[in-house]
Amino acid sequence: MPAYDLSGRLVVGVASSALFDLTESDAYFREHGVAAYSEYQDRNVDVTLEPGPAFPFIQRLLQLNDLRPGDPLVEVIVLSRNAATTGLRVMRSIERHQLPVTRAFFTQGRSPLSYIGALGMSLFLTQNQDDVLTAVRAGHPAGHVLPSAATYDMTDRSLRIAFDFDAVLATDESERIFQTEGIDGFVANEVAKRDVAHVPGLLKPLLADLNRIQRIEADLQEQDADYEPRVRIALVTARAAPAHERAVQSLRSWGVTINDAFFLGGIEKATVLEVLRPHLFFDDQHGHLSGALEHVAGVHVPYGVANETLAEAAGVEI
């Protein structure tokens, strides 16, 4: 039997902490330790875990596999520090929630992060901040999924994803200039370099993979005018004119596209996100996420100059 080829697919790694609500399990582990935690999960192996903050995104992402039956567009793999035995509850919960996830790596207390690159993942999601910091340091596209009060219509199959630009889709080159030279220096730099594409950041490959799925949907819409594309991608950035142009030209140079662009120029991002309601919003700054968590699932990408203090506190160099 030939090996299962992951190339040409959008591969996402997800920790059980992001997929399910493990608040109770984590509290038990911290209070009682590893051995008691293992027994606790054995006793509760058939108690289905409730969805966590990344669940709506993962569910809708996997539903896109019906666009190419028999040859999945999306592969989701569980990456967990649990042992295989304690991971049984996670896998049974996946089955009961009818998520077509069949692959899982359980590494019993050791970090599974080296498998992100080995499997060509475009994204790794977890609620373990230290793991994300370590992954980002190694150049992996990882995000810290924050606790969220957002709820979504589970009968709606559309998938909405929003990205910040600087230090998310692009590197933090311009953010560093803003930090040292202020807004005037930032704008002057962006105007002077408006035809010079930014260096792609950690999540640009994810956008490219999503665009590949969107092209399949565009073909379907050409064949059937009534087909409504499910994937919609937005750029939500604090940039404004004239600094917006370099971001647009960079996306074009990279060969990627977005559906919606919001150049806010200081307007609170939560104002737009409450209306847009993305299933995930990626930003490099906690301040832009905290006000929106009532409305969206927020993912902190701890990359670049804005996160150096956070990384230093955790003993990680970014």
Confidence of residue 311 (pLDDT cuts 50, 70, 90): low
User: Are 234 and 96 part of one and the same domain?
Assistant: no
Last residue of a domain, one of 78, 103, 127: 127
Which positions are catalytic?
164
Give the span between the Cα atoms of 113 and 190, in whole angstroms: 35
Give the span between the Cα atoms of 71 and 157, in whole angstroms: 20
Number of domains present in the structure of the chain: 2
What predicted TM-score, i.e. pTM, was given to this entire model? 0.94
User: Are 45 and 96 part of one and the same domain?
Assistant: yes
Q: Is the pLDDT of residue 182 over 70?
A: yes
User: Are 88 and 167 part of one and the same domain?
Assistant: no
Give the span between the Cα atoms of 314 and 128, in whole angstroms: 12
Q: Residue 186's pLDDT is what?
A: 92
Q: Is the pLDDT of residue 312 over 90?
A: no
Give the span between the Cα atoms of 287 and 134, in whole angstroms: 21
**Phi/psi class of residue 269: alpha, beta or left (left: φ > 0; alpha: ψ in -120 to 50)?**
alpha
> How many C-beta atoms lie closer than 10 Å to residue 18's C-beta?
26
What would the pLDDT profile of 111-167 be if each residue is shown by its tens digit?
A: 899 999 999 999 999 999 999 999 999 999 999 999 998 899 888 899 999 999 999
User: Are 292 and 190 part of one and the same domain?
Assistant: yes
User: Are 103 and 175 part of one and the same domain?
Assistant: no
Is 26 among the domain residues?
yes
Q: Residue 69's pLDDT is what?
A: 94
User: Are 114 and 202 part of one and the same domain?
Assistant: no
User: Are 170 and 240 part of one and the same domain?
Assistant: yes
Is 146 among the domain residues?
no
CA-to-CA dists, residue 92 to 16, 19, 46, 47, 315, angstroms:
12, 13, 7, 9, 36
Domain that holds residue 231: 159-314
Q: Is the pLDDT of residue 48 over 90?
A: yes
- The DSSP line for 65-100 is GGGSTTS-SEEEEEEESS-TTTTHHHHHHHHHTT--
Average pLDDT over every residue of 3-10: 92
Q: What are the start-end ranges of the E strands in the chain?
A: 10-14, 74-80, 103-106, 123-126, 142-145, 159-163, 231-237, 260-263, 280-283, 298-300
Cβ neighbours of residue 165 under 8 Å, at least 6 residues apart?
235, 237, 239, 247
Domain CATH number, residue 297: 3.40.50
Largest Cα span, the chain: 63
User: Are 103 and 177 part of one and the same domain?
Assistant: no
What would the pLDDT profile of 232-261 be if each residue is shown by its tens digit?
A: 999 999 999 999 999 999 999 999 999 999
Is 132 among the domain residues?
no
